[in-house]
Structure 1
C-alpha cells in the first residue's frame, strides 16, 4: 500500500493563530494526505475536527485565564521561551515520524529549525501581514529602541544563541521569523501594508479562509430588526465593562437597530443590567453567522475579525487595543470601510455618531461590497492546498539548508 504524504502543521494554543489554518488543514486531509498538527492538548478537539492527528506538546504560554502585560518586549520573550521549550518536544514527537513537509504558524519557529535539520521543505502560514521590500529598514527605529532596553537586548541575544546552537542557516531573529523561504499569507491582500512591495515568489495571499462554521451554532435576525450591529472585541481583549455600558447607552433604543453584544469570558452579561429590547448580550456568539446578516461590526480589529468583516462586506467601527490591531484599524479606515474609535475614551455619543455616519455613507457600502467580491473570488482553501502540494516536489531553497560552517 502506497504511503500517504505526511504533512506536519505546528502552531500555538491561541485561536487567532489556529483558526486561520483550519480550512487549509481540512482541505489537505480531504485530498488524502496524512496531516499531523502539533499543539497543546487543549486544542485537541479543534485539531481533530479537521481530520488531522494531534501531536500534543506542553506550551508555556499564558493560559486562557492569565493576562498579558501588553509590553512588546515581554510578549516577544514569552514567545521565545515557548519556542525554546517546544523544540525538544517536537523533535521527540517527530523523530520516528518525520514529515514530508512542515507547515508552521509565525509562532511555530521550532518547525523551521527541524525542517532545516532534517532537510524537508517548510511553508510558513502567516495569520497576519508579512514583510515587504524595505521592511527591515522601516522597522529599524522600533527594533533599535527595543535593543536599547536591557530586556530587549537580552531577547535578541538569546534568540541568536538559540538559532546558532541549533545549526540554523539564518541566525538573525528578525530574518528567521520574518523572511521564510515560502509563505502563505492567510489574510486578505488588501490588509497587507505595501502589498506592491511584497515578493510574490515567496508570499502568496490566500485568505481569509473561513469555511463552514455551522458547528458553532446559528443566529436568526429578529423580524423587527431593520439593521443589525455586532459588537465584539474578540476572545482575549474583552475585559471592558465600562465600554460595553457605553455601547448600551449609545445603541440601546436606537431606532431600527438591533445590537448583539459579545462580552467575552471576563464579563458576566448580567453586569450590564437590564438591556433595552433591541439589544442582547452573550459571553460568546457565532460571529460569522451574525456578520453574514449584519449591517455593521464594532471590532477590536484583530486580523481574524477584520478579515471576516471584509469577507462579509460589513462596514466596521475599529476599536484597537494591542499588537497589530492599530495597524489593522488604520488599514480598514484607509480602505474606506471603517471608522476608528478609542475603547478607553470614546463616549456613547461618539460611538453612535460613528455608527450612523458609517452606515449612511453610500461610498462605504460600495467599497465594502467591492472588497467582498474580490475576497470571494480569491481562491481560498483549495488554492492554498494547491500551493502547498506544489512545494512537496520542489528542491530545498538555500535558506532551508543547514549551514556547513
Structure 2
C-alpha cells in the first residue's frame, strides 16, 4: 500500500508526530512519503523518509511575512481596517490570538490549503497514493483526497483545533467548490474516517470527542529517538529539575516571546531548582543577553522528550507537542499560553489537575517562581500526571496505527 502523509512546513508538526507515524507505516511494509514544503527536505532526509516536495508551498518565515497570509485576521502584521499594519506595541499579537484563537487557522484553510491541494493534485498521478493521512491543521490533503476519491485519516496533533472548524466552514466549502466538489455541513471534520489521537481520550472534553477517534502511543524508534545527549547526563541531583522553553514557532511568530523567555530564565533563577531552558534552534547561548542565573543551563535545543522523563516540572507556552510529551512522561506543567490552541491546552491542564495556567501578560519573575514552587511542593499534580502517563502508555502503539490506516484502503 502507498501512504502519503501531509504536513504543514513546521518542525513541531513534522518531527514529533508525522515522522514517527511515517516510520511505523514503513516498518509495516508500506511505501510511505511525506508531502510538504521543499524547506523540510533536511528533516525528512535525516529521518530517512521519502519527501514529496510541493514546490509552491512556503516555509514558516514566508508564511509570517507574505502579505497573502499576513493580511488575514489574526496573523502577525495583519492590515487594520484603516489600512495600516498593526504594530506589536500598538496591539500585541498575544492579545489578538487570545481574543479569537480561530483567526489564524483561516490562513491554513484558505490560500495555503488551496496551494497545497493544487500541488498534491499535480503530484498524485506520479506518486499514486492509496491513502492520504494528514495532520489536523493541514487542509490541502483533505481537499486533494476528496477530489481524488481517496480514503483519508487525520493525525490529531492539535485536538482543540477542532473547535476552530466552524470558523473555516465557508472557506473550506469555497475551496471544495473550486475543485468541483459539493459543499458539506462539516468540511474537514473526520466524522466517518479514522481520527488518530496521540493522547488518551480522557484529554478530550465532550464537545470535541468523535466516535471515529482512537488513541495511540506514538513510539519513535528512529535514529536519535531514544538516547539522551550525554551533555545532559550529569545535571545536579540534589534539587528538582525544571525544563522550560517556548518551542520552535512562538519565537518567530510572537513579538513578545523573547521577553517571555527572559522571564522564564529569571524565574527559574529564583527557585531552588536546576533549570534547563531551550532558547530555540540556532540560537547560540553565547549570544544570550538576558539573565544568566547560576542554576540555569541555557541551550539552543533541549532533548525534550527524554529530559521530561526525569523532570519535576515543565514550564512552557502550551504547544500540544510539548503537552503530549509531558503527559507521556507524567510531568506536571506550568503553562503560559500565547496563541492558537495553547489557550485550550492550558485550560485543560488546569481542569485535569495536571498543573496550572498562568497569564503571560501579567506574570512577573517572582509570581512565576512562586507558582512553580507551589507545583513542586504539591504532590497532587504529579499523582494525576502519573495517572495520565499510565493511560497513555496503555494505548496501542504505532503498529496498531499502521494496521488501522492500512484497513482504510
Q: 1:87 Cα shift?
A: 2.0
How far apart are 1:362 and its partner, in Å? 1.7
Matched, 1:36 2:49: no
Deviations 1:239-291, CA, capped at 9 Å, x for gaps: 53433333343322633x11111122596644345623211112222111221
**Separation (CA, whole Å) in 2 of partners of 1:90 and 1:241:** 36
Residues 90-109 of structure 1 correspond to what in structure 2 (within 5 A)? Answer: 90-109=120-139
Q: Secondary structure, in 3 states, of the residue corresponding to 2:187? A: helix
Question: How far apart are the structure 2 equivalents of 1:65 and 1:112?
Answer: 20
1:310 aligns with 2:306: no
Name the structure 2 match of 1:334.
351
Q: Which of these residues, 370, 380, 383, is aligned with residue 387 of structure 2?
A: 370
Aligned pairs for 1:231-270 (under 5 A) are 231-238=244-251, 240-252=257-269, 254-255=271-272, 257-264=273-280, 269=285, 270=287
Greater gyration radius: 1
Partner Cα separation in structure 2 for residue 250 and residue 190 of structure 1:
32
- Alignment: residue pair count: 366
Offset of residue 170 of structure 1: 4.1
Quote the offset at 1:217 in angstroms: 3.8
**Correspondence 1:346 to 2:363:** yes
**Which residue, 200, 205, 227 being the options, matches 2:215?**
205
Question: What is the match of residue 400 of structure 1?
Answer: none
Closer, same or farther in 2 for the Cα pair 1:51/1:280, shift >3 Å?
closer
C-alpha distance in 1 between matches for 2:63 and 2:123: 28
Residues in 2 aligned to 1:11 and 1:86: alpha-carbon distance in whole angstroms: 10
Give, in angstroms, the shift of residue 215 of structure 1.
7.3
Other-structure match for 1:164: 177
How many Å apart are 1:157 and its aligned residue?
A: 5.1
- Report the equivalent of 1:359: 376
Question: Which residues in structure 2 correspond to 1:219-298 (within 5 Å)?
Answer: 219-238=232-251, 240-252=257-269, 254-255=271-272, 257-264=273-280, 269=285, 270-273=287-290, 275-298=292-315
Q: Is contact 1:241-1:267 (8 Å) kept?
A: no
CA distance in 2, matches of 1:211, 1:189: 24
- Tell me the distance in 1 between the aligned counterparts of 2:323 and 2:383: 17
Aligned CA distance change for structure 1 residues 10 and 274 (closer, same or farther; 3 Å): closer
Closer, same or farther in 2 for the Cα pair 1:330/1:74, shift >3 Å?
A: closer
Q: Is the 8 A contact 2:4 2:33 kept in 1?
A: yes
Determine which of 193, 202, 219 is the counterpart of 1:190.
202
SS of structure 2 residue aligned to 1:63: helix
1:325 Cα deviation (Å)?
Answer: 0.4
Change (3 A) 1:64 1:332: farther
Q: Which residue of 2 aligns with 1:24?
A: 21
Distance 2:381 2:388 in 1: 11
Corresponding residue of 2:81:
none
Q: TM-score, normalised by structure 1?
A: 0.81
Is 1:53 the equivalent of 2:50?
yes
Secondary structure of the 1:7 match is strand
Specify the SS of the correspondent of 1:96.
helix
Quote the Cα distance in structure 2 between the aligned partners of 1:380 and 1:304.
Answer: 17
- Unpaired runs of at least 5, structure 1: 144-154, 393-405
Query: How much has 1:89 moved relative to structure 2?
Result: 1.4
TM-aligned CA distance change 1:248 to 1:30, over 3 Å: closer
Structure 2, gaps ≥5 residues long: 66-74, 77-92, 97-101
Distance (Å, rounded) in 2 between the aligned partners of 1:389 and 1:290: 34
- Counterparts of 2:263 and 2:170 in 1: how far apart (Å)? 45
Q: Distance in 1 between matches of 2:282 and 2:63?
A: 9
Q: 1:7 aligns with which of 3, 10, 16?
A: 3
Alignment of 1:71-90 (within 5 A): 72-73=102-103, 75-77=105-107, 79-90=109-120
